[in-house]
Structure 1
Amino acid sequence: MATIAEALLAALDHHQAGRMNEAATLYGRILDADPEQPDAAQLLGVLLAQANQPAEGRRFLRRAAVLRPGSAETQSNLAGVLRLLGEAGAAEAAYRRALRIAPLLADAHANRAGALRALARPDEAARSAERALALDPAHAEGLVNHADADVALGRAAAGEAGARRALAVQGGLAAAWMVLGSAFSLTNRWDEAEPAYRKAVDLNPRYGEAWENWGALLAKLGRFAEALAAFDQAEALRPGALLCVTRGIAKLAMARPLEAVADFDRALAARPNDAGLHWNRGFAQLLAGNWAEGWPEIDWRRFEVNTALPWRAFPQPTWRGEDLAGRRILLYAEQGFGDTLQFVRYAPLVAARGGRVLLEVQPPLVSLLSGLPGVERVFARGGPLPEFDLECPLMSLPRAFGTAVDSVPPAPYLTPDPARVRRWRERIGAGPGETARPGPGTGPETGRGLRVGLVWAGNPRFQGDRLRSPRLDGMLPVLGVPGVRFFGLQMGPGRADLGLVPGFADFTDLGPEIADFTDTAAIMANLDLVISSCTGPAHLAGALGVPLWVMLPFSPDWRWLLEREDSPWYPTARLFRQRRVGDWAEVATRVARALQGWG
């Protein structure tokens, strides 16, 4: 009769040869004969994890850890199974126990980095991976986990380089392809990210995180059916709140806000105090037109810690809409120029409630907003604050006033500076309506035509700017409309497009002459129409009451709602929506056709 040692060697031979059933049977018989045999318990736990039975594997590895508490290998194997089960905290603790026993165990350092990444501790993850690489510079897991931490820290180039080094060591490492895809996604290189994610799932069809990331990217690319199929695969492999969040965000990209709400609700059932989840749920409700449900959720943004936005905490209470009785209230900008321009309409209404309004805004907006009725003082963000009794960020004012789709405070509510209007009239020609549009067969040499301002790009630091900005080449069909004088109002990095598109005789770039938003407002007052992407100048045109056409992506920002050509925020606005993700040419063709028949 074979001894336990001989049976163990036979079982291990089966295991290493891939004969899993035979190995599992022998390990089980050994444990029947000796329930305290630590090697059999450990190896059966590893085998079960490899056979996609991680919960059973955990049971045997825990038994092995009790039987052999001083084994770093056992603790490291247990940690690996705990990671498979999504128990990142317990996995990280097990890796630490392994490293207390064997501080020079490169595998444990490398894999602990992966657990730390799952715990959203990328700085520590990078340090743990660095320790692994100091022990073994060609450690594939160490390289890929360091690259993953780099991506989490926003270091896309370093993440890409690290993933490529890992692939040079082990070309079939699915995790390296997944990290490479994430590095590409971080810099909007979606056409390169998609095949990288596909390679990851081809190499490891049970790689749930890669399926999830691939699904999110496919949604951005407008490949919705494929995205949903990828999420189904991910859910089968790693169900849970995190997947619901990713899929909910993807449903927003698909312009399916109520389906997104359902996913966010599932995630909130597990994480009811997650501020970011509430914030996303609020955006979905607002996009669906359910503003009464959306505004309270949006206020959770003030408790979100995983954001670069400088949320403010004041000792003064937040105003909720009650009578102010002469108290001083600080209203302040917190996000982009467009948000400030959209919600500053509420400042005079706050004054009408009896408040002494102090308005803090971005420095380029101070001059423009200084004439708002009822506002006691307008000052730039970043300087010392005056004394005040109450505070309210501008974006929380719609909730305070109970704003619904049919009760938006009306526009226009901003007025351009008369002196600058006169100066810009001299620069660009007569104001709106002062010359007739030329008839058929006439051109700029015989008629002055419509004056149309163009804005084609937003802030590239905004995460969704690639989707929302048509860029100048996306507006080329508009620029080809005859008998129209176009004026470029674009500021910022989007001006780089001017060197990449053909010149047009009837196009004048005013960007270098614009000092601030007060200049832009004065220019708009001299135009017949502004055509813009979803960015700050669009809100400025709407706030001034200038005719405005907005080119919108397939899934727009919440404020534009869905399936309508008008806007409750801006009565002079007409909305031109993408019918397919990324297809700006079709949108621009419709805009050009409308422009030919307008006026």
Structure 2
Amino acid sequence: MGVSLATTPFNFLMDDTSPVQAVIDAFTSGDPVTAIARGFAIEASYPDDPAVLNHLGAIHLQYSQPAHALRVLRRAFDLAPTSSVICVNLGLALEVDQQFEAAADAFGLAAAYKPDFVVAHFNRGRMCVRTERFQDATDAFAEVIVREPTNADAWNYWAGSMSLLNRLDEALSGYERALTINPGHLSTLRDHAIVAMRAGQPVRALPSLDRALAIDPSWANGQQHRGRAHTQSGRFADAETDFAIALTLDPGNRDALNGRAWLRHISDDRMGCLRDLEALVAEDPTNAEACAFLGLAYLREERFAEGWSAYESRWDVPANAGIFDGATRFRWDGSQDLTGRSILVMSEQGFGDTIQFCRYVPMLVNRGARVILAVQPPLQGLIAGMPWAHHLVTDSAPVPDTDFFCPMLSLPQAFGTEPGTIPSPGRYLETSPEKRASWQRRLAIPDHSPLPSQREPRAGGWGSFHLPTGNTNPLVGISWRGNPGNRGDAQRSIPLATFVEALPAGLRYVSLQKDTTEDERAHLAERGILNVAEALDDFAETGALCDVLDLIITVDTSIAHLAGALARPVWILLCRIPDWRWFVDRTDSPWYPSARLYRQATAGDWAPVITAVQNDLASVTTGP
């Protein structure tokens, strides 16, 4: 957290006639043995003089004799426990002895006895940081700032303490105050930039990174931080240069390699991304983040054998530590016999992942297993009706006792899945007939009209797909955004006003969006799009609604997986760099044969995608 306020010992109340001068003379002449001997003599001559003992202790500290300093200063403190100067010097001696709690207490006493003694407050703050009492630290540094508002060191340390409390906006403001006072302070520039990156504010980080690197161009870590900031700001060419410089300065800089791999991933340099990740893993096979990232990169390229294996490293990532602490049973890897045995399959990640990978559960049942399936509560109603869901629990429930367990996204690895052997190529989930009938009534679908899920499967793929004609206009469900908490949601979601441009008149539209904003609700009403958000309690209800629709048009969200698992015709609108499961360049999906994929050609530009959907909607509404 930058430089320290002066922490040298205080030698107040003494002059060059002090008896301690003889000790100083010996130290300065390079004779510590004589100095220490003279110190013992002074202790014997002035055993009850706290001023002399304080001065002697301070000199011992100054000349790196901490054991002697601590002994003498303890004696001085016993004689004058309310002396703020002695308390500070004792605190410094305790700090050198790594007694940080005791040092904080000593500095606290000094501040209590002399509230305007800023050095006491400052040093107490430092010791509170060392003992991870971060709120106490900020309070102590604030006491300095109140008395010395232009003290750059105090602002710097206060900001550092705020960052340790994860109060990042306040931390950034503190660093900025420090830089107003001392604009060229390298440590503060670095700290400000790093915290700004933690706060997801690359634009705020870049000026400090630029200034810090102008002062110290050899700061390799700063170069990689600037690469990340430029990446997040969309300045990909600048980011590539930054990472190259960082790796020239420090060829083994893993953060730079990892940052460049991510840059190349989002700029669609797939082979460059793979090379960086393979280099990272080759250098350090225990780098779980890089291994898992490499696994996803392989999966995107449909290199399943390598991908599933590398992706297993996700469980070694620190953020995932302890997730399966309660699962003391054996991990099932596909080789163990399951006949008559129980296995716990645990959902992971999002709703869409659970919908996509629950297709493997019937395969476990076929091997003779009794499956206990732990899924998110909103999915329970949908999955509970499946014959292979022997026993369903919530993913937050206590872990039941079973013979084996397996995370859900590890099942493809256990079954040796390849692109050509993806199981359940058609409909593998079912919905409630009662719920479907309820939606049929609500949407005024004539009783004599078969529900879409009851119609004969189309033949010949998408070329023969047409929306039905008859007494009512076809029903199309829409979903334009995903979970705002998802890191990539801003890229994969489409503003409603843009999305509805793809929707021609003459069709009936139903919003499948569960949570809508006030503006979105107004826009839906203006366009005559039915909003049934209040009725979509869970995926069982949403699935039943999907089952009575003729077509679903959605961005990459759980609705896409739900429609695909129900084998409903679904058009999925994908951002330029979509999730791995949609692979590269394909317009179809081996996971969901009923899906048609629409891909962005340029990041952020949805106009060509919307036009393609418009054209295809026109073509499927004018057929037989």
TM-score (norm 1): 0.71
* C-alpha distance in structure 1 between counterparts of 2:268 and 2:242, whole Å: 18
Cα gap change, 1:514 to 1:247, in 2 (>3 Å): same
In structure 2, C-alpha distance between the alignment counterparts of 1:594 and 1:157, rounded to whole Å = 47
Tell me the residue number matched to 1:267: 280
Distance 2:386 2:454 in 1: 28
Alignment of structure 1 residues 370-389 onto 2, 5 Å: 370-389=384-403
Q: In 1, distance between residues paired with 2:157 and 2:308? A: 39
CA distance in 2, matches of 1:571, 1:309: 37
- Residue 482 of structure 1 is aligned with which of 482, 505, 509? 505
Alignment-derived partner of residue 256 in structure 1: 269
1:528 paired with 2:540, answer: no
**Structure 1 522/502 Cα, relative in aligned 2: closer, same or farther at 3 Å?**
closer
User: Aligned partners of 1:519, 1:175: CA distance in 2, in Å?
Assistant: 56
CA distance in 1, matches of 2:259, 2:136: 27
Contact 1:424 1:526 (8 Å CA) reproduced: yes
- Partner residue in 2 for 1:166: 178
Q: In structure 2, what residue type is equivalent to 1:315? A: T
The Cα shift of 1:186 comes to 5.8
Letter in 2 for 1:166: A
Aligned to 1:230: 242
**Given that residues 141 and 157 in structure 2 are in contact (C-alpha distance below 8 angstroms), is that contact kept between their aligned partners in structure 1?**
no
By how many angstroms is 1:450 displaced? 3.0
- 2:526 match: secondary structure: coil
Unpaired segments ≥5 residues, structure 2: 1-29, 31-61, 67-94, 108-118, 446-450, 456-469
Counterpart-to-counterpart distance in 2, 1:337 and 1:558? 16
Change (3 A) 1:147 1:291: farther
Aligned 8 A contact 2:189 2:212 in 1: no
Aligned residue number for residue 453 of structure 1 = 477
Distance in 1 of aligned mates of 2:134 and 2:226: 23
Task: Quote the Cα distance in structure 1 between the aligned partners of 2:139 and 2:122.
Answer: 12
How far did residue 329 of structure 1 move? 0.6
Give distance in 1, aligned partners of 2:329 and 2:210.
Answer: 52
Relative to structure 1, the CA distance from residue 196 to residue 477 in structure 2 (aligned partners, 3 Å threshold; closer, same or farther) is farther
What pairs up with 1:332-481 in 2 under 5 angstroms? 332-409=346-423, 410-430=425-445, 431-432=451-452, 448-479=472-503, 481=504
Deviations 1:493-530 (A, max 9, x none): x5455158575333111111211100100110111221
Q: Does the Cα contact within 8 Å between 1:129 and 1:142 map onto a contact in 2?
A: no
Q: Which residue of 1 aligns with 2:33?
A: none
For residues 384-437 of structure 1, what are the alpha-carbon distances to aligned partners after superposition, in whole Å with 9 as ceiling and x for unaligned?
Answer: 4443110011111010011112211123210111110110111123244999xx
**Partner residue in 2 for 1:86:** none
Deviation at 1:167, TM superposition (A): 3.8
Provide closer, same or farther for how the CA distance between residues 144 and 547 of structure 1 changes in structure 2, counting only shifts above 3 A. Answer: farther
Aligned twin of 1:70: 64
Identity between Structure 1 and Structure 2 (%): 31
Question: What amino acid is aligned across from residue 582 of structure 2 in structure 1?
Answer: W
What is the identity, as a one-letter code, of the residue corresponding to 1:416? T
Q: Distance in 2 between matches of 1:476 and 1:181?
A: 41
Q: Does the aligned pair in 1 maintain the 2:144–2:154 contact within 8 Å?
A: no
Helix, strand or coil at the partner of 1:375: coil
Q: CA deviation at 1:552?
A: 1.6
Partner amino acid for 2:575? P
Pairing partner for 1:542 from 555, 564, 567: 564
Q: Note the C-alpha offset of 1:593.
A: 3.0
Q: 1:300 pairs with 291, 313, 316, which one?
A: 313
Match in the other structure for 2:209? 200
Kept in 2: contact 1:475–1:585 (CA 8 A): no
Cα distance, 1:404–1:364 mapped onto 2, change above 3 Å: same
Structure 1 residue 283, shift from structure 2 partner: 1.7
The C-alpha deviation readout for 1:257-296, integer Å capped at 9, x for no partner, is 4422332333334543232222222122212222211112
2:294 is aligned to: 281
CA shift at 1:164, angstroms?
Answer: 3.5
Tell me if structure 2 keeps the 8 A contact 1:241–1:267: yes
Amino acid at match of 1:482: A
Q: How far apart are 1:554 and its partner, in Å?
A: 1.6
Q: Say whether the 8 Å CA contact 2:125–2:136 is kept in structure 1.
A: no
Q: For residue 576 of structure 1, what is the aligned residue in structure 2?
A: 598
TM-score, normalised with respect to structure 2:
0.69
- State the partner residue of 1:43: none
Distance 1:232 1:334, change over 3 A: same
Aligned pairs (5 A) from 1:74-223: 139-140=151-152, 143-144=155-156, 147=159, 155-171=167-183, 193-194=202-203, 196-198=205-207, 200-202=209-211, 204-205=213-214, 206=217, 207-223=219-235
> What residue number does 1:596 align with?
618
Cα RMSD between the aligned structures?
4.0
Contact map agreement 2:193 2:208 (CA 8 A) in 1: no
Give 1:146 deviation, angstroms: 5.6
Please state whether the residue corresponding to 2:419 is helix, strand or coil.
coil
SS at 1:531's partner residue? strand
Bigger Cα displacement from structure 2, 310-319 vs 153-162: 153-162
* Structure 1 unmatched ranges of 5 or more: 1-35, 37-67, 73-95, 436-445
For residue 354 of structure 1, report the CA deviation from its aligned partner: 1.4
Number of equivalenced pairs: 493
Contact 1:111 1:142 in 2 (8 A): no
CA contact (8 A) 1:551 1:577 kept: yes
Contact 2:327 2:399 in 1 (8 A): no
Amino acid at match of 1:158: E
What is the deviation of 1:143? 4.0
- Residue type of the alignment partner of 1:468: R
Relative distance call for 1:109 and 1:217 in structure 2 (3 A) is: farther
Post-superposition offset of 1:124: 7.7
